[in-house]
Structure 1
Amino acid sequence: MSFPVANSTTSFWRGETHPLDDHRTTEKLPSEVDVVIIGAGYAGASIAYHLLEQGRGASKPLSIAILEAREACSGATGRNGGHLKPDPYHRAADALKIYGREAAEEVAAFEARQIGEIKKLVEKENVDCDFVMTRAADVCLFEQAHSELKDGFDRLNAADVSTIQNVFYSDGKTAEGVSGVKGAKACFTYPTAHMWPYKLVLHLLSQAVSRGVNLQTHTPVQNVVRSVGSGSPRAWTVNTPRGSVQASKVIYASNAYTSALLPEYKQAIVPVRGICCHIVPTKKPAPLLSNSYMMRIAPDEFDYLIPRTDGSIIVGGGRRDYYRHLNEWYDVADDSKLIEPAKKYFDGYMQRHFNGWEDSGAYTNKIWTGIMGYSSDGFPHVGEVPHKPGQYICAGFTGHGMPQIFLSAKAVATMVLENLPTEKADVPRLYKTTSARLASKRNVTIEDWEKSMKVDRARL
């Protein structure tokens, strides 16, 4: 069981914190509320936002409390790579193979919709979060990645999955010119966006607090138990070191830390540590990049990158130097330390990979770690917690939460307000949390690692 640790590394995004970062709306916890949301990251803030939006005009507004173990947005979203990057073809190809066309269409289209939804939100509310719409370039630097991705791309085309129409494929003849990446064997480009994620989440939290939500940071939840006399509307008691809150509904927006409170999710959502950095060129002008990137460099090595409008770069990944060491990243919830084997990986990164950056003087000026919640089957867990009526979950985003969370949170809000089952909410069927998924022994994270280790041994 893993709870958030103290003294986490400081990400670039959290270099300047918002006034709500360590906010407590009231000195003491409320004794009871309609809804407790556990976690003040992207999922928790989005759920609160949607509950308020969908509840406009109600005769009696919901009372909502958000309980956060550390600071607001101090988990995965405050430490990620800044992407809002739907996957129109890679995960969808896996879904097509295992679950069929309709499931693949749902997954890919649901992710693609998030860009438009966030664009509307940013424009409607004038959110200051450096939001940029652009194109993603998924670049293959080794032939195996090229052939596997092209096969999935072709299968989705043949199945007429809609999102594939927005993907442009470049082969080895043009991939380096299209991407600007040295040695590119292939490139797939498609619509995407990037932003300052911490600022988006704190905007959502600010809106929630201004509309009456009680935000309590530095208030870790220890457990959730049935209230004494559970026939009352406040069926659940949420316990913290600062006291207890009784609630009618409890929503777990706790991602990597979910199993600490819901042990039945121990195998289903596992904490995975990643590493990310901020790179700054010192000699002007370094070439300005217009795309965001996924760099598939070698079987154990893929990185993700966004260019910021100030010319600096955010890059995460570094798996080449630590992936084989399972104890460095799998089932690890400690973001107070760097991943030691990878801490020098990003030095000289832009000079190695991008044409025109050789004399940029680019260097790594900040590096940090973050904890993601990896789902054992690769899909999030969204909906009512099995056998616990009135408890809901929105977690397990496998390092890919930015194009999944906002509309998943909207679906959870609808379930809570209208007492809808997951099947009736607007969320892909593969996201529904079920007893069968929790009981499954399959673990795609470990399967992929074992496959990679087998390839490594074959090279020796």
Structure 2
Amino acid sequence: MVSLKEVSSAIKDLKLSNGSSEFGGSGISKYLPVSDPTESFWQTQHDELKDHRSTEHLPEHSDVVIIGAGYAGVSTAYHLTKDHGDATQSITILEARGACSGATGRNGGHLRPDLYGHIPTYVDRAGLRAGAEIAEFEIAHVKVIKKLIEEEKIDCDFTLTRSIDVWCNEEAANNAKAIYDQLVASDLEYMNDVIFHTGEKVESICGVKGAIACASYTAGTIWPYKFILHIIKLALATGKVNLQTYTPATSITPDPKGGFIIGTPRGQIHANKVVHASNAYVPGLLPEYENNIVPCKGICCRISVPEGTTVPLLNNSYINRTKDKVLSYLVPRADGSIIVGGAAATFYPYRDQWYNNVDDSVLIEAAKDYYTGYMQRTYRGWENTGAKVDKIWTGVMGYSYDSNPHIGVVPDKPGQFILAGFNGHV
């Protein structure tokens, strides 16, 4: 993932470059997903709903039209039917490609709350309580996801684990310890779950070569594609939700009689309300967001070992920061494989490869080989395992100018709502 600081800097450079945005207003196509994306490991087990259309033709009308069949869009449909069923009788989800084909189905499967990474930034901006609320919300999110998976009996490889932060750079380790001490001194209750280690035993504790400091706290891991597809099935089972894949929304026009007309290559649909849940792609239909939510690519891969090979057990998820400050997130799987991604520092200088770029059919050239030999050079005991990358992909995230998600009514457009700009972190 790309850090908030890096994206914020890039956005500021863009806005100052020539007094105008390089997004341009010549057409929506720049904000539509490409038709041939790289396939993520999560999507290799295709679900029957991947190319699902509830009806052969678009319905003429829907109380709510949701644009995007990822985490935000699908969860919105689920909660509308579960919590507000009487108020909403019909919901249509429009997805430009297959269900859960975007960033939700391409991430690392890491349910990791941010307890101290970006929290000091939010504390500086809005005060201690505001920063703590963000951390507490993310912590609560892990617990709610666990409860939902158990209640709905969702098969998605969910685990509750410890996430281990590792620093191999002395300056970065000292800064992290200072932030940890600051938050502990602020008497934030959630910091009781954090354990911070320094000293000679760090490498033995975390298993990472050259580790100077490490910390751990409660987090989770998940198969995101399976999770979302199950939620879609629950929503469809209510009879109130119509899923239309491979149906990009290309225009939204206010209807003089009330509501909105949403245009697609397959025809039009009328809606009383519209929910924009396409994250990085929202500027295509909401041009007022073109300088505020920017599409940014990231990279992720799956590493496996030859069949029959015994490898050191990894029970925890990781965030590793190398001596030269390259950050990677890592999720071990029960099948012995590893999901790992990030490496933003390797491609950040090559802005055209990732910034304001929605082409997830092309890997990030500057980073595509970074994870070759990663386990061997990073973890003790993995030197002779034969671990290698067997699947690599990219995805498009949405980063906001103010580093905050945009959730609620679209300004000056009553009846239209937005859930986007999530600023993916690890």
Which amino acid counterpart does residue 44 of structure 2 have in structure 1?
A: G
Partners of 2:64 and 2:88 within 8 A in 1: no
Within 2, Cα distance between the matches of 1:35 and 1:378?
Answer: 28
SS of 1:90's equivalent in the other structure is coil
SS of 1:342's equivalent in the other structure is coil
Partners of 2:63 and 2:88 within 8 A in 1: no
Structure 1 residues 227-280: Cα deviation after superposition (integer angstroms, max 9, x where no partner): 1223xxxx1121111111111111111111011111111111101011110000
Tell me what 1:26 maps to: 55
The verdict on how the C-alpha distance between 1:61 and 1:257 changes in structure 2, with shifts beyond 3 A counting, is closer
Partners of 1:26 and 1:214 within 8 A in 2: yes
More divergent stretch after superposition (218-227 vs 159-168): 159-168
Q: Does structure 1 residue 171 correspond to structure 2 residue 195?
A: no
The verdict on how the C-alpha distance between 1:143 and 1:265 changes in structure 2, with shifts beyond 3 A counting, is same
2:44 to 15, 40, 45: 15
**Counterparts of residues 365-376 of structure 1 (less than 5 Å):** 365-376=390-401
Q: Does structure 1 residue 280 correspond to structure 2 residue 304?
A: yes
- Paired-residue identity, %: 50
SS of 1:287's equivalent in the other structure is coil
Partners of 1:93 and 1:153 within 8 A in 2: no
Q: Does structure 1 residue 100 correspond to structure 2 residue 127?
A: yes
Structure 1 residues 369-416: Cα deviation after superposition (integer angstroms, max 9, x where no partner): 111111122221111111111111111111249xxxxxxxxxxxxxxx
Unmatched runs of 5 consecutive residues or more in structure 2: 1-29
Within 1, Cα distance between the matches of 2:356 and 2:325?
Answer: 19
State the shift of 1:152 in Å. 2.0
State the shift of 1:188 in Å. 1.4
The verdict on how the C-alpha distance between 1:162 and 1:225 changes in structure 2, with shifts beyond 3 A counting, is farther
Within 1, Cα distance between the matches of 2:124 and 2:189?
Answer: 16
Tell me what 2:10 maps to: none
Tell me what 1:115 maps to: 142
The verdict on how the C-alpha distance between 1:160 and 1:299 changes in structure 2, with shifts beyond 3 A counting, is farther
Structure 1 residues 95-115: Cα deviation after superposition (integer angstroms, max 9, x where no partner): 112210121121000000011
Q: Does structure 1 residue 223 correspond to structure 2 residue 247?
A: no
Which amino acid counterpart does residue 302 of structure 1 have in structure 2?
A: L
The verdict on how the C-alpha distance between 1:332 and 1:228 changes in structure 2, with shifts beyond 3 A counting, is same
Tell me what 1:184 maps to: 211
Within 2, Cα distance between the matches of 1:223 and 1:64?
Answer: 18
Which amino acid counterpart does residue 357 of structure 1 have in structure 2?
A: W
Structure 1 residues 171-203: Cα deviation after superposition (integer angstroms, max 9, x where no partner): 133321221101111111000000100000000
Tell me what 1:432 maps to: none
Tell me what 2:4 maps to: none
Within 1, Cα distance between the matches of 2:323 and 2:282?
Answer: 32
Structure 1 residues 112-131: Cα deviation after superposition (integer angstroms, max 9, x where no partner): 00111011111111100000
Partners of 1:36 and 1:64 within 8 A in 2: yes
Q: Does structure 1 residue 343 correspond to structure 2 residue 368?
A: yes
1:72 to 96, 99, 113: 99
Tell me what 2:357 maps to: 332
The TM-score normalised by the length of structure 1 is 0.84
Partners of 1:104 and 1:161 within 8 A in 2: no
Partners of 2:73 and 2:93 within 8 A in 1: yes
**Counterparts of residues 141-220 of structure 1 (less than 5 Å):** 141-212=168-239, 213-220=241-248
The TM-score normalised by the length of structure 2 is 0.90
Within 2, Cα distance between the matches of 1:162 and 1:225?
Answer: 48
Partners of 1:101 and 1:161 within 8 A in 2: no
Partners of 1:276 and 1:368 within 8 A in 2: yes
**Counterparts of residues 279-358 of structure 1 (less than 5 Å):** 279-282=303-306, 284-298=309-323, 301-358=326-383
Within 1, Cα distance between the matches of 2:353 and 2:106?
Answer: 18
Partners of 2:169 and 2:325 within 8 A in 1: no
Within 2, Cα distance between the matches of 1:253 and 1:61?
Answer: 18
* Moved beyond 6 Å, runs of 4+: none
State the shift of 1:340 in Å. 1.5
State the shift of 1:299 in Å. 5.3
Which amino acid counterpart does residue 275 of structure 1 have in structure 2?
A: I
More divergent stretch after superposition (155-164 vs 68-77): 155-164
Tell me what 1:385 maps to: 410
Which amino acid counterpart does residue 186 of structure 1 have in structure 2?
A: A
Within 2, Cα distance between the matches of 1:321 and 1:96?
Answer: 29
Tell me what 1:422 maps to: none
